[in-house]
Amino acid sequence: MTESEDLMPARHQRIIELVSESGFVSIEELAVKFEVTPQTIRRDINKLSAQGLLKRFHGGASVSSSVRNIAYQTRKSLYFEEKVRIAEFTADFIPDDASVFINIGTTTEEVARALAKKRKGLKVITNNLNVASILGINENFEVIIAGGMVRSKDFGITGEATVEFIKQFKVDIGIIGVSGIDSDGSLLDFDYHEVRVAKTIIANSRRIFLITDSSKFGRNAMVRLGELSDIDAIFTDSKPPKEYSQAIADAGVSLYLAEDREKREFTDSPQE
């Protein structure tokens, strides 16, 4: 049955309300709620996203806000497969016996899991208790936890004490995440305190690896962390939009795509 156009605005408004209440709602949940097909919900989300009312994600929609991030548990599941692929690729570029900063973020936590499997002899300084838990059980690693205020929502550690602690070190590689990347090359995040820590990591690392899934290109957040020129390499799942690729190239930043690694592995695999 063809749906009356008169019902569309009311459903759109209700979708916005549901997403605002929970931070993220899946396509499947919305389809069941409104008794329509997933394809219909996808069209709704596309329209609302084009109007800047929602942010479209793989499998659902979230609030379109530059001041409020998606809840941690939701972020963990968003683009999960892409994050794992990025993490596995990143670990290939970190040698054994290196010193490493790892900051707050769901993607950096996946990097920690990949390092735990692939590397030995690392000295890791982190302000992320999840990272410390992942790496701390590896007898080949030395893990140092920064002091400061623990955030209950994601077990990240921030604050002035964290900044001062990190200033004591100069490490080989700093691994950071961001909430958004603007087309002008700005690196963006939501939490001023978290950004201060990330800036300190950048200032005290010989090389900076930015770890991000491709949904972060064009995503808004209100706090400037830095510029593309502040980092050495970006690890992501697939090629960014053209304007971002150009900005990355202009900044002299190396771009590594997990999809390219996988294509090479397929090409190099023995053929029957």
3-class secondary-structure state, position 156: strand
Q: pLDDT for 155-173, tens place per residue?
A: 999 999 999 999 999 999 9
The class that CATH gives domain 79-264 is alpha beta
Query: How far is residue 193's CA from residue 114's CA, in Å, rounded to a whole number?
Result: 27
Q: How much is the pTM?
A: 0.78
CATH code of the region 5-64: 1.10.10.10
Instruction: Round to whole Å and give the CA distance between 98 and 119.
Output: 9
Tokens of 29: 């949940």
pLDDT tens digit at each of 272 positions of the chain: 344 444 456 888 788 878 866 667 889 999 999 999 999 999 999 988 876 678 788 788 877 655 566 666 667 777 889 999 999 999 999 999 999 999 999 999 999 999 999 999 999 999 999 999 999 998 999 999 999 999 998 999 999 999 999 999 999 999 999 998 998 999 999 899 999 999 999 999 999 999 999 888 888 888 999 999 999 999 999 999 899 999 999 999 999 999 887 666 544 444 43
The two three-digit tokens of residue 84, written as one number: 């794992």
Whether the domain at 5-64 and the domain at 79-264 fall into the same CATH topology: no
Domain boundaries, the chain: 5-64, 79-264
Q: What does the alpha-carbon distance between residue 147 and residue 167 come to, in Å, rounded to a whole number?
A: 12
